[in-house]
Amino acid sequence: MRISLYPPALISWLAPTGANGSGKTVGANGSGKTSVLEAIYTLGHGRAFRSLQPGRVIRHEQEAFVLHGRLQGEERETSIGLTKDKQGDSKVRIDGTDGHKIAELAHLMPMQLITPEGFTLLNGGPKYRRAFLDWGCFHNEAGFFTAWSNLKRLLKQRNAALRQVSRYEQLRPWDKELIPLAEQISTWRAEYSSAIAQDMADTCQQFLPEFSLTFSFQRGWEKETDYADVLERSFERDRMLTYTAHGPHKADFRIRAAICRH
């Protein structure tokens, strides 16, 4: 991978790809090493990891930033570009054509960021672990992003409807679409969780042999229960709360540690 950014950072040496597939960024303090890492992350996510406000990552007296990269695949090279201004408006270019979406960049550049803030995966709320699972599902299942986007839309509409309806039958049009999406997304999450759990346990064993770690996926409603039954049974409570209390938006990826006694 090759990457360029404007305005440029002050990097004294950059090797994007090493002989073993790794890369190194070297430079003095304040030379812009983190800016390069942030540029790579932004090119793949459409946003920076240090700040959600575009103006914070655009150089002083500049109106926008421009990122450009070239990805070398097995068969061909792909050119990608991202421009974002202080208002947050983005333009994505892939192989010389405009009008693409951020999700297309994310599909081309799968990545995980490891920083000290990564401990939120352990000590943060379930939303951080859901995001971790969803990022993996996005790159493993072609239909995940569309299903996930539709699920968010339907949940928002259902929660708004809960403020207006008096009988569960009035919610059935939303639930008819919501239920299969919720079940499919939960299946994808469960499969991905199962696939990575053993690798995560093996890795933790290398670094923390004194602990035994277990991982479990909680889908967001009771085991062995149809989501349709849960939604209907919870209607009065949901109406009182004015939001949907059960579902994939409440899922979690539980991580438990126990001290090994030899």
Report the number of distinct structural domains present in the chain: 2
**Residue 101 and residue 171 in one domain:** no
Taking the model in full, what pTM does it have? 0.69
Residue-level pLDDT at 10: 44
Lowest mean per-residue pLDDT among 23-37, 143-157, 182-196, 245-259: 23-37
32: left (phi over 0), alpha (psi -120 to 50) or beta: left
**Residue 23 and residue 99 in one domain:** yes
Beta strands (DSSP E) in the chain are: 2-6, 13-15, 24-26, 64-72, 77-85, 90-94, 211-218, 252-259
**Domain hosting residue 173, numbered range:** 116-259
Instruction: Please write the tens of the pLDDT for every residue from 105-123.
Output: 888 888 877 777 667 888 8
* Whether the predicted pLDDT of 170 surpasses 50: yes
Residue-level pLDDT at 139: 86
**Residue 132 and residue 72 in one domain:** no
What residue numbers does the annotated binding site for ATP cover?
27-34
**Residue 225 and residue 127 in one domain:** yes
**Residue 83 and residue 212 in one domain:** no
**Residue 139 and residue 222 in one domain:** yes
**Residue 52 and residue 74 in one domain:** yes
**Residue 238 and residue 204 in one domain:** yes
What residue numbers does the annotated binding site cover?
27-34
The CATH number assigned to the domain holding 131 equals 1.20.1050.90
Instruction: Please write the tens of the pLDDT for every residue from 232-259.
Output: 999 999 999 999 999 999 999 998 888 8
